[in-house]
Amino acid sequence: MKKALTVWGGWEGHEPKQCVDVFIPWLREQGFDVTESDTLDAYLDRDAMASYDVIIQCWTMGQITGEQEKGLLEAVRNGTGFAGWHGGMCDAFRNNTGYQFMTGGNWVEHPGGIRDYTVHIVKKDDPITTGISDFQMRSEQYYLHVDPSNEVLATTTFDGVPHPWIAGCVMPVVWRRRYGKGKVFYSSLGHVRKDFDVPECRLIMQRGILWAANRENV
């Protein structure tokens, strides 16, 4: 049986527990033994961390200790998958560049706050995005600093409101990457729980989690 760890906490505005709870029943339906944690101390148990096929984190901002970060990064380098969304993954632990090197990006702005925008699928033949067409979101449109080694699956284009100097900027929304032996998946969608009511948003996250959890499939 595959094993998953869900870790939630940090800023409550991103509804971390509610968002994680979207995926826990589904994970169990997929045959995962799910461990739930509301503390980053879960990253300190080296043996347990090595046993997980995937870690799903939703922890916006906050602070992670050196030992907690070491435990997480070591597990991913050694083959445990890591998956997350929005600020729960790429606006966590702002002072920890080692963590950011693993995730492949870091939030810097959401111009205009909650707004309507289009998510463009750029790799239509990828197992994570196959069968999914471009779709609309009404949520925060994340502006990120991103790693050029990411394999980008979906993007969005900024219209320059309210910042005209970024008009036409194409920003990654969904990517996957490697960190050592581990597989890392990220979607910038998922500001709050209701965002996952958008079928494409939820399906992309589900497929990304399964990809990250599969140690055998590159």
- What tens digit of pLDDT does each residue of 69-85 get? 999 999 999 999 999 99
217: pLDDT strictly greater than 70: no
218: pLDDT strictly greater than 60: no
Contact at 8 Å (CB) between 81 and 217? no
Mean pLDDT of 27-45: 98
Chain center to CA of 24? 15
Residues 6+ apart with CB under 8 A from 71: 43, 44, 45, 46, 49
Domains and their CATH numbers in the chain? 3-213 (3.40.50.880)
212: pLDDT strictly greater than 90: yes
Mean pLDDT of 31-60: 98
Nearest to 203 by CA among 138, 128, 143: 128
Tokens 């527990």 correspond to what residue?
17
Query: What are the DSSP E strand ranges found in 54-128?
Result: 54-60, 81-85, 105-109, 114-121
36: pLDDT strictly greater than 70: yes
Entry pTM: 0.97
